[in-house]
Amino acid sequence: MIRLNNYTFSYPEAQSFLWKPLNYCFEAGQIVVINGGNGSGKTTLLNSLCGIIPTAIKGKVKGEIFYLDKKISSQPLNRTASEINILFQDPDKQIFMPVVEEEIAFGPENIHLPRETIIKRIDQLLARFNIEHLRYKKTSDLSFGQKKMVALAGILSMSPKVILIDEFCAGMHEKAINLVADYVQELKHAGKLIIFAEHHHSFQALADIQLDLDNFVQS
């Protein structure tokens, strides 16, 4: 489903490429966990997998990343977003609608899904994440953990085929972590590809594939 073919990246002012070339294949129905210390490039790799790099964040690319045999870098971001969606490390960079319900509706409205489908998805996700009480709350009034759950609901509402999650566990309660771990296993069984970047090794037990970027960092 996603194939990295000798892929590596370098930010414009950097001296060298971040990693030795990466060669990996990730398939539908898999959970992938990307490990690595601070600065090993977990976020950079997720941004590459959804096309933000090099479309919005520029740099030097070597090799290629393919999604269903098409180069991700040559597709417009709005087309990629309905298939491959990313939960950012910082929810404040993700959430931009004033009310929770509007935030979750934003993605599916953008791809013109029918109103009933959108409402059904919002109902299901709010119930599933135990955040029904937040539905009409202002997003600016939410705690960090609540923002993360709302942002996650916001990307899942588009029903993407590939779900990228950057550092979910940091700053989250165990209850929320367990809830998401359970849900992710359902998504896996529904044929989604889920890729976590985790500094902590909390989702490791779920992983079909583990990629430790510390092993690829260029010295």
Ligand X SMILES: Nc1ncnc2c1ncn2[C@@H]1O[C@H](COP(=O)(O)OP(=O)(O)OP(=O)(O)O)[C@@H](O)[C@H]1O
Residue 137 corresponds to which amino acid?
Answer: K
Q: What's the order of all strands across the beta sheet hosting 162-166?
A: 84-87, 162-166, 193-197, 31-35, 209-212
**Mask of contacts with Mg ion, 41-70, x by CB under 5 A?**
-xx---------------------------
Distance from C-alpha of 126 to C-alpha of 133, rounded to nearest angstrom: 8
**Mask of contacts with ligand X, 88-127, x by CB under 6 A?**
-x--------------------------------------
Whether 53 contacts 1, CB under 8 Å: no
In the complex, what is the shortest distance from the CB of residue 122 to Mg ion, in angstroms, rounded to a whole number? Answer: 29
Stretch that binds Mg ion, among 20-28, 34-42, 75-83, 155-163 (CB under 5 A): 34-42
Q: Specify the length of the chain in residues.
A: 219
In the complex, what is the shortest distance from the CB of residue 11 to ligand X, in angstroms, rounded to a whole number? Answer: 3
The structure tokens listed for 65 are 């990343």
In the complex, what is the shortest distance from the CB of residue 34 to ligand X, in angstroms, rounded to a whole number? Answer: 8
Instruction: Specify the DSSP element, H or E, that contains 74.
Output: none
Footprint of ligand X on this chain (CB under 6 A)?
A: 11, 18, 36, 38-44, 57, 89, 199
